[in-house]
Structure 1
């Protein structure tokens, strides 16, 4: 048995409904009419993976409760609508000072989506300590 099992079905058009591990439903639409596009889902998934990775990295550096974390994602597409660049602005309640860059880099190492993407698509991450 696999660690992750997904069944994706497209009855017609460009909308795909996926069932993930028999428990979760996800609708993705290549045209962004009935749901987010695959690229939008990837951008959101990357940020959703990076946030807990950042929390673990912060904890490993002595910050046990960093409060609110917000990631603003910007992604650029080429003329074929393929992702060519991703950047994150990460805002946290906690100010990390001199530890910030080490925490960002450890978060990258921990993030499974970051590890799965080609290096040319790794997010360019800016850390700010002004989460609301």
Structure 2
């Protein structure tokens, strides 16, 4: 039995609707009626990394990060394939660079999307404490 099951349907054109459990996600390869697959992957990566970052912080005895925001951007090559991803992580808590680097390192070990991506496509990460 599978751990994850999805169903993706396209009635016409390049837009599709994916059923993921009880949730529906609209994706459009042209980016006209929804985000394109590359944008969804970048957002999914950030959405996985953020809770991994919080868990990594808790494992380093930093339970109260306050608000955390990941601003992600990515580069595409000439074939529209993802070439690079960058995260700017803004943390409300006033943590020094060394502490933030330790949390990032732990989050990289926890984030399933980070583990699934080829190494050259893993996010380049900058952190900013006392950000809000």
Aligned to 2:112: 112
Query: Between Structure 1 and Structure 2, how many residues are aligned?
Result: 131
Q: What TM-score results when the alignment is normalised by the length of structure 1? A: 0.96
Whole-angstrom CA distance in 1 between matches of 2:5 and 2:101? 35
Whole-angstrom CA distance in 1 between matches of 2:81 and 2:114? 17
| 1:44-66 alpha-carbon deviations (Å, 9 max, x no partner) | 00000000000000000011111
Report the alpha carbon displacement of residue 96 of structure 1 after superposing the two structures with TM: 2.2
Whole-angstrom CA distance in 1 between matches of 2:130 and 2:24? 33
Q: In the alignment, does 2:62 pair up with 1:63?
A: yes
Whole-angstrom CA distance in 2 between matches of 1:94 and 1:25? 34
Q: In the alignment, does 2:23 pair up with 1:24?
A: yes
Aligned to 2:80: 81
Report the alpha carbon displacement of residue 99 of structure 1 after superposing the two structures with TM: 1.4
Q: Runs of 4 or more off by more than 4 Å in structure 1?
A: none
Report the alpha carbon displacement of residue 100 of structure 1 after superposing the two structures with TM: 1.4
Whole-angstrom CA distance in 2 between matches of 1:131 and 1:12? 45
Whole-angstrom CA distance in 1 between matches of 2:68 and 2:89? 7
Structure 2 stretches lacking a partner, 5+ long: none
Whole-angstrom CA distance in 1 between matches of 2:35 and 2:130? 28
Whole-angstrom CA distance in 2 between matches of 1:130 and 1:16? 40
Q: What TM-score results when the alignment is normalised by the length of structure 2? A: 0.96
Helix, strand or coil: the match of 1:36? Answer: coil
| 1:79-104 alpha-carbon deviations (Å, 9 max, x no partner) | 11000000000000012213111111
Whole-angstrom CA distance in 2 between matches of 1:3 and 1:68? 31
